Amino acid sequence: MSLITVRLTVNGRQTERAVSPRRSLADFLREDLELTGTHVGCEHGVCGACTVLVDGRTARSCLLFAAQLEGAAVTTVEGLTPAEGLSPLQTAFHECHALQCGFCTPGMLAAAHELLAENPTPTRDEIRDAIGGNLCMCTGYVNIVRAIELAGARIRGAR
Amino acid sequence: MTRWVGTSVPRKEDARLTTGRGLFLDDVGRPGLLHAAMLRSPHAHARIVAIDTTEAARLPGVHAVITGADAAASTAPIRPLIPTPVPLHDWCLAVDRVRYAGEPVAAVAAVDRATAEDALERIHVEYEPLPAVVDPETAIRPDAPLLYPDLGTNVLWHDVLSYGDVAGAFARADGVLAERFEIQRYASTPLETFGAIAEYDAGLDGYTFWTNDQRPGLTLGILAESLRVPQARLRLISPDVGGAFGNKRRPAYLLASALLARRARRPVKYLEDRIENLTALMHACNGVMDLELAYRKDGTVLALRVRDIADEGKNLVSPTQHNLIKLGNLVNGYRIGAVSYEAYSVLTTKCPSGANRGIGKPFMCFAVERAMALLARRLDVDPAELRLRNYVGPGDMPYTTPPGAQYDSGDYPATLRRALERFDYTTWREEQARGRRAGRLLGIGIATSVEPAGTNLASYELITGRRAASGSAEAAMVRMEPDGQVRASIGDPASGQGYETVIAQIVADELGLAPAHVHVERGFDSATTPWLYLSGNYSNKFSVTDVGAVIGAARKVRDKLLRIAAHRLEAAVPDLELADGEARVLGLPGRGLSFRELARTAYADVLGLPPGEEPGLEARHAHQNPLAQPVGPDRRVRSQLVFSNAAHCCLVEIDRRTGQVKILKHVVVHDCGRELNPAIVEGMVHGSTVHGLGAALLEEFRYDEGGQLLTATFMDYLKPTALDVPDIEVDHLEHPSPFTPLGAKGVGEGGAIPGPAAVANAVEDALAPFGVVVRSLPVTSERVWRWLRDAPPAP
């Protein structure tokens, strides 16, 4: 199989790689770039564990091919993490006990990040809607909703 | 002195898990790592006539291909946890015959997963299809197709366990309620799938496994036997585990990976994809239960007669557990004096049944709580009132049920009363009546439960007639390092329960330092973690055994610290206290030594130790819960050991046009004794409850008559999303167990057990005007819509 060269920005860093046409973005991130914070839960676009931001919008990295992303800017959980400490969303997840096994967390953070960027004052229903495409098998979602609500309030307060 | 146990210390695990720095199985790399894929049977039941792997083996990038013949030639059969009446040999890949659609037939190791999957398409298998047997009641019949002709039947266990004067109670009763209930196959489906890396060291003739297996103790025994390697040359390591819920165990996959690794002389990783996970890992056992309940007209339940058919699929690892485990909650929280339990454990040509949050107990609770709801309606008594008339009272504790379970503590009536209050039961009953007049279909469901914790493996003697393993125990290690900080580990690999935090809290209290200075090892490593055959993450057992193991090890270190401090400070041990990271002489401010200084003595300046004291500050301890006892002469047994309890109140509204069930409100009052970390407890109650709600509303592994799974993706097998479930409201009572070291009880299963019953009772209550009886789950929109369509015209 011939390889395709793709140039994209991942977490702010310019990257150029030759990839197999069938390489998914999830595998590209995890295996070629060793960004293992992005998790793969179902590989058919339902569970949301592999959610990343592509040009600021959430996307399922298991349903995209790396070769599709010429010129795109991809942000993963590694890119959402400050050099020191935790982001307000990560802090709120920690304080609200919004994770148990933590496997869904990177995808949840991406979904929550997109929501709060657009709507810093979401209602609980809007939060549930925003994470409605991300499965969590551990928490029953209650504390995730609380964490996103808390992070929204803090981000507003900081502005 | 600060006490950490009982406070919501924020989790230590979160720093890595919120930043993508966890280490899950698929994140583990090894030099030269190959990736495996498995060829799986398309038939539910077939004879394997021939397998040709030549073409697959020739594909560039493929390093090894194995089939059942290789497994049979180079490994011993997989030892079952519970032996079958006639030994049934099972290998990691199907030999001669497949017995469910999805059973592994061959495996390939290649440079990457995609190449391995390409190779699967080049393996040619000739099958001779055999008739499938999908329904467990059909499987029982003498003319049913047999999975194992040598066994002569599909029934692995049939017995009647009878306790108390059942016939007499039925004769004395004013009435008998008889119903048939069914439970579907569903699973907790951890978000990370199951798998392993196997690495073969040809020089040592040994293996190392990285796996998210939940029961390393049991699995290591199987690996050693099947691979014919001494246990000392096996090492098993668990990294972070992305949820488990009982599902994560399949020694066959570790064995297949090991064979591939040995053949390829390179490490091999096998990780299920989601379809493999849903098709072939394990499902909660489906079943059929005929239940008769003898009652007096005042609502007192006198006796229970149960006939329970458990559909094990092709489960040879732990068959019969789905029957036996129901002894723990057969009478739920009620004072029912006599019970008869007839068990069938049946093989069918379906995915193996296996451990899934609560194992069998959600079905038992479903049947009893459905029966209580039906009895309340028959007697025209409020369903809450009926339960209050029948509960084991707080003054009865500890209370022994007819099969021998000992309810250790709790106040069941107070738990329900608190739930009714939190739910605002009276108001909602009024609202329901008002709504009904206006055409709204509101329903209120109550379900209450006991939640057993800790398994006593001696109970399997009831089935096998002999004792292979028994009791309930776990092992732990605590080591004060030379810098005065502490490291701890335990034989129970966590899968989201926050053990690193909770164990740090316990150790911090025992030794007198902050949890921040206690590092608890991630996961498990058989080379460094103390472990037993009984070790593992199962059976809600943390509070029953693990806490005791940690405390035992910490106290050994504490005692030694005190002896060293006494010697160094020229004081007597009783005059010392350990607090804030130092040993102090009581009443003499300023006279003390830091842990760092004491550790320096223990590890470096050993001439400063008391005479005869062994250098070092490390201790191991295994805790055996004393409640576990052998089976009694009357076949009574404590199959499980301590009992939490819960009351759920669920409010649903049904859309008349679509049949959709919407949960408007769900209140849980839970009592797991002393809460070691209340935030973690509350999180577990939320999550566990949603497992119950998912099973009630959405989830079903549905098979066609030919044994093909029809719901093999998350598009068809629906999990609850944030939009399907409400904000679960939780409140707690706290009746500590007198039989666990800190008074804590189980917490992981308390929502999953009564959740399905609560929803079913609410739906039936909403549909009361239509005379609907909910006998099975899930109550999908389609089913409710059909009930509404087929009902006589609404009154």
Round to whole Å and give the CA distance between B527 and B533: 14
Q: Is A97 on the interface with B (CB under 8 A)?
A: yes
Asked if B623 contacts B491 with a C-beta cutoff of 8 angstroms, the reply is no
| Residue B156 counted as domain residue | no
Considering the domain architecture, whether residues A16 and A67 belong to the same structural domain is answered as yes
**Domain containing residue A11: CATH number:** 3.10.20.30
* pLDDT score recorded for residue B141: 97
Give the number of domains in chain A.
Answer: 2
Instruction: Name the residue facing A103 among B191, B498, B719 (closest C-beta).
Output: B191
Cβ–Cβ below 8 Å for B15 and A94: yes
The residue from A25, A56, A80 where one domain ends is A80
Q: Which residue of A has its CA nearest to B494?
A: A101
Considering the domain architecture, whether residues A72 and A114 belong to the same structural domain is answered as no
- The CB-side HSE value for B428 (13 A sphere, CA atoms) comes to 25
Q: Which residue is listed with tokens 């939320």?
A: B686
* pLDDT score recorded for residue B776: 98
Considering the domain architecture, whether residues A112 and A69 belong to the same structural domain is answered as no
Considering the domain architecture, whether residues B566 and B697 belong to the same structural domain is answered as no
| Residue B325 counted as domain residue | yes
Cβ–Cβ below 8 Å for A124 and B727: yes
Q: What is the ipTM of this complex?
A: 0.98
Considering the domain architecture, whether residues B216 and B74 belong to the same structural domain is answered as yes
The residue from A39, A56, A80 where one domain ends is A80
Considering the domain architecture, whether residues A75 and A101 belong to the same structural domain is answered as no
* pLDDT score recorded for residue A158: 79
Cβ–Cβ below 8 Å for A102 and B15: no
Cβ–Cβ below 8 Å for B19 and A37: yes
Distance (Å) of CA B206 to CA A13, B77, B134, B553: 43, 19, 41, 30
Beta strands in A26-140 (DSSP E): 51-54, 57-60, 73-75
* pLDDT score recorded for residue B80: 85
Q: B313: which DSSP letter?
A: S
Instruction: Looking at the complex, report in whole angstroms how far the Cα of residue B111 sits from the nearest Cα belonging to chain A.
Output: 13
Q: Which residue of A has its CA nearest to B496?
A: A101
Considering the domain architecture, whether residues A69 and A133 belong to the same structural domain is answered as no
Considering the domain architecture, whether residues B686 and B732 belong to the same structural domain is answered as yes
Instruction: Name the residue facing A49 among B8, B191, B691 (closest C-beta).
Output: B191
Round to whole Å and give the CA distance between B407 and B415: 15
Residues in chain B where the model's pLDDT stays below 50: none
Round to whole Å and give the CA distance between B106 and B62: 14
Considering the domain architecture, whether residues A93 and A59 belong to the same structural domain is answered as no
Considering the domain architecture, whether residues A64 and A126 belong to the same structural domain is answered as no
| Residue B550 counted as domain residue | yes
B-chain CB neighbours of A104 within 8 Å are: 191
Cβ–Cβ below 8 Å for B727 and A142: yes
Asked if A113 contacts A48 with a C-beta cutoff of 8 angstroms, the reply is no
Considering the domain architecture, whether residues A67 and A109 belong to the same structural domain is answered as no
Round to whole Å and give the CA distance between B573 and B564: 9
| Residue B435 counted as domain residue | yes
Instruction: Looking at the complex, report in whole angstroms how far the Cα of residue A105 sits from the nearest Cα belonging to chain B.
Output: 6
Q: What is the pLDDT of residues B663-692, one digit of tens each?
A: 999 999 999 999 999 999 999 999 999 999
Residue B292's DSSP bridge partners are B178, B305
Give the number of domains in chain B.
Answer: 3
Q: Note the maximum CA span of chain B.
A: 92
**Domain containing residue A104: CATH number:** 1.10.150.120
Round to whole Å and give the CA distance between B690 and B751: 7
User: Got the DSSP string for B455-508?
Assistant: E-GGGGHHHHSS-SS-S-EEEEEEEE-TTS-EEEEESS--SSS-HHHHHHHHHH
Considering the domain architecture, whether residues B309 and B267 belong to the same structural domain is answered as no
For chain A of 159 residues, list the mean pLDDT of each consecutive stretch of 10: 94 97 97 98 98 98 98 98 97 98 98 96 97 98 98 88
* pLDDT score recorded for residue B466: 84
* pLDDT score recorded for residue B794: 55
Round to whole Å and give the CA distance between B368 and B761: 11
CB contact residues (below 8 A), chain B span 23-42, against chain A: 24, 26-27
Residue B235's DSSP bridge partners are B208
Domain span including residue B307 = 286-458+630-790
Q: Is B716 on the interface with A (CB under 8 A)?
A: no
Give the sign of the dihedral formed by CA A111, CA A49, CA B498, CA B23. Answer: negative
Q: Is A40 on the interface with B (CB under 8 A)?
A: yes
Q: Is B424 on the interface with A (CB under 8 A)?
A: no
Instruction: Looking at the complex, report in whole angstroms how far the Cα of residue B191 sits from the nearest Cα belonging to chain A.
Output: 5
User: Got the DSSP string for B508-557?
Assistant: HHHHTS-GGGEEEPSSEETTTS---TT-SS-TT-IIIIIHHHHHHHHHHH
Considering the domain architecture, whether residues A45 and A92 belong to the same structural domain is answered as no
Cβ–Cβ below 8 Å for A95 and B8: no
Q: What would the two tokens of residue B554 be?
A: 């910490």
Q: What would the two tokens of residue B50 be?
A: 């021939």
Instruction: Looking at the complex, report in whole angstroms how far the Cα of residue A25 sits from the nearest Cα belonging to chain B.
Output: 14
Q: Express the helix, strand and coil content of chain B in percent, nearest 5 each.
A: 30, 25, 45
Considering the domain architecture, whether residues A18 and A70 belong to the same structural domain is answered as yes
| Residue B276 counted as domain residue | yes
Considering the domain architecture, whether residues A119 and A141 belong to the same structural domain is answered as yes
Considering the domain architecture, whether residues A118 and A74 belong to the same structural domain is answered as no
Considering the domain architecture, whether residues B345 and B205 belong to the same structural domain is answered as no
Q: Is A109 on the interface with B (CB under 8 A)?
A: yes
Considering the domain architecture, whether residues B620 and B647 belong to the same structural domain is answered as no
Q: Express the helix, strand and coil content of chain A in percent, nearest 5 each.
A: 40, 15, 45
Instruction: Name the residue facing A104 among B191, B686, B725 (closest C-beta).
Output: B191
* pLDDT score recorded for residue B318: 85
Q: What would the two tokens of residue B12 be?
A: 């230590």
Asked if A99 contacts A138 with a C-beta cutoff of 8 angstroms, the reply is yes
Considering the domain architecture, whether residues B294 and B259 belong to the same structural domain is answered as no
Q: Which amino acid is at B331?
A: V
The residue from A26, A60, A80 where one domain ends is A80
With residue B137 as reference, give the H or E element that holds it.
helix B136-140
Considering the domain architecture, whether residues B308 and B444 belong to the same structural domain is answered as yes
Q: Is A135 on the interface with B (CB under 8 A)?
A: yes
* pLDDT score recorded for residue B722: 98
Considering the domain architecture, whether residues B362 and B400 belong to the same structural domain is answered as yes
| Residue B723 counted as domain residue | yes
Considering the domain architecture, whether residues B593 and B690 belong to the same structural domain is answered as no
Instruction: Name the residue facing B27 among A36, A44, A132 (closest C-beta).
Output: A36
| Residue B405 counted as domain residue | yes
* pLDDT score recorded for residue B572: 97
* pLDDT score recorded for residue A156: 85
Domain span including residue A67 = 4-80
Q: Which residue of A has its CA nearest to B17?
A: A102
* pLDDT score recorded for residue A1: 66
Considering the domain architecture, whether residues B453 and B487 belong to the same structural domain is answered as no
| Residue B161 counted as domain residue | no
Considering the domain architecture, whether residues B499 and B431 belong to the same structural domain is answered as no
